[in-house]
Amino acid sequence: MSNSDNILKQIAPYRWRIPVDYQAGMRVPGEIIASERMIPQIINDKAASQVANVATMPGIVGASMAMPDIHWGYGFPIGGVAAFDLDEGVISPGGVGYDINCGVTLLKSKLTASEIRKDIPSLVDALFAEVPCGVGSEGSIRLNNKSMNAVLERGARWLIEQGLASNDDLELMEEKGCLTNGDASLLSKRAKERALKQLGTLGSGNHFLEIQVVEEIFDKTAADAFGLFKGQTVVMIHSGSRGLGHQVCDDSLKKMQDAVRRYGLELPDRQLACTPIKSREGEEYLSAMKCAANFAWANRLAMVGLIRSVFNDFYRKSILNPDLSMLWDVCHNIAKIENFEIEGKNRALCVHRKGATRSVGPGDASLPPKYRHIGQPVLIPGDMGRASYVLVGTEEARRTSFSSACHGAGRVLSRKAAVRATKNTNIRHSLAKRGIVVRSQGKWTLNEEVPEAYKDVDDVVEAVHGAGISLKVARLKPMGTVKG
C-alpha cells in the first residue's frame, strides 16, 4: 500500500474506508476507526494493507475492520475485527493471534488513593513477590494431566470447584469464564507441558499488574452502575494464556498451511492461513482455541486470588477494608460465534477479534442483570506511564463494528526499537518522578514497554468514543505497576 492520499476515504467522523476495488480479490471494503491525525501513522505502518488482505478471505461479511490501536501483526493487523459466514466462511489463527484470550480483569476496592498512597511502594513489592511474572515464571498451583484437562475444558469454573474463587466472580467475566465444547484431547503434549506450572502467572512483554486511581469520571450513571467513584483505588490485570496459547496457535498454523492447499484457498498472504469453519480442521482449531481461552480466564482469576490475599494481609491490622471485588473481565484475542442482523436477517457469524474488545450495549442477554440496563464494561489498558480506561458498550457497536472496540493503546515502536531509543534512560527513575512505582523482572522490559513505544491511549479512546462504538466512563491513572 503506497502513501497515496487516496488509500482511505473518510465516510463519517472517525470512520475511514478502503474501497472494495482498491485491491484485486477484495470481497468487502475495509474500514478503520481513527481520528484524522492518526491516519498518517496508520498508513506508514502499512497495517492498512493487512485490512485489505483480510477483505479477500472467503465468506467475510460486512467489512474488514480495524480499531484505532491498529498496528502490524501476523496476517491480520492487531486491532483487526472480521466476521465470517458459518457456511461459506473461514477461521484463521492469524485472526486471533498467538496470545489467545489475552485480556483484562479490573478489580474495584473501597479504598481511596489518598488513604493508601504512602503504601504503594510496599504494596507493589508485595504484589511483585506474590504474583509470579516474567519469562518462564511458575505459579503455586501445580497441575497434573487430569487437572490440566479440567482447566482447559472448564476454565474459570475449575477454580470455583477448587474453592479458589467465588461464583460472584464468574458472573462478571465474559462468557462466565468458559467457552463450552473445548476438547482438551486436541491440544499437543507440548502445549500442555508449557502450562503445567503457569496457572496464576502474569507473563512478560506488555502484560502487567497495576494499582490505579480513578482520576476522572465522564459518565456518572455508568460509573455508578459499575461501582466506580473519583479517587477510588482499583487494580488491573493484563495477561493471557501464556505458553499454552502460543503453542496452540503455532501448532494450528502448521495444520492450516496444509488445509489452504487441500481446500484450494487463494490468499494474498500465507500468514492468513485458514480453513473453512465447517471443516474438520476448522472445528478442531475452534475447539483447541476455546481450551486456550479457558486457560487464560482461569489464569487471570487465579491471580485475582493472589492479589486479594496481598491486600487483605497488608491491611489485616488496619481499619481499612480493601474489599476487592470483580468489576469485569474481558478478552481481546478470540474468535466466537455470535449473532448479528445482516441485511435484515439474523445470522450466526464467526467473529475474529485480534487486539479488539467486545463492546455490547444495553439490553443484551449475555450481560449480568446488574449491567444489563447500562451495557458491558469495556476495559482498555494503556501504557505504564499514562492511563487506562473504562468504557461502556453501545448499540451502535452492534450495528457498525460487530460489537467491537479497541483493546489498548497500540504500539508505534517495536520492542527492539524501543530499547534502542531508551537504552541510556533510567525508565524506573523517570516514572518515579511522575509518582509511579514500577517493579519488573526482565532486564529490558521497562525499555521495551516505555510509554513512548505506544500511541497515546487518550487519542485511541477518543476515536472509539467519537465513533460511538464505546463510550467513556472513567480514566484510570497508574500509581504502581508490576511488569514481567
Cα 419 to Cα 400: distance, rounded to the nearest angstrom: 38
Q: Which residues contact 469 (CB under 8 A, 6 or more apart)?
A: 33, 359, 394, 396, 397, 400, 401, 404, 405
Q: Please say whether the dihedral angle defined by the alpha carbons of residues 165, 355, 357 and 322, taken in this order, is positive or negative.
A: positive
Q: Which long-range contacts (CB under 8 A, 24 or more apart) does 180-184 make?
A: 180/290, 181/287, 181/290, 182/152, 182/153, 182/287, 182/288, 182/290, 182/291, 182/293, 182/294, 183/153, 183/284, 183/287, 183/288, 183/291, 184/148, 184/149, 184/152, 184/153, 184/291
Q: Which residues contact 345 (CB under 8 A, 6 or more apart)?
A: none
Tell the residue number behind the cell numbers 487430569, with chain if given: 146
Among candidates 199, 195, 379, which has minimal Cα distance to 288?
A: 195
In the residue annotation, 429 being an active-site residue is answered as no
* Three-state SS at 208: strand
The phi, psi pair for 376, rounded to 5°, reads -75, 135
Cα 71 to Cα 82: distance, rounded to the nearest angstrom: 15
Distances (CA, A) of 95 to 31, 123, 437: 16, 38, 35
The phi, psi pair for 45, rounded to 5°, reads -70, -15
* Three-state SS at 416: helix
Beta bridge partners of 392: 377, 471
Of the residues 71, 352, 407, 465, which is catalytic? 407
* Three-state SS at 310: helix
Residue at 191: amino acid letter = A
Radius of gyration of the chain (CA): 21
Positions marked active-site: 407
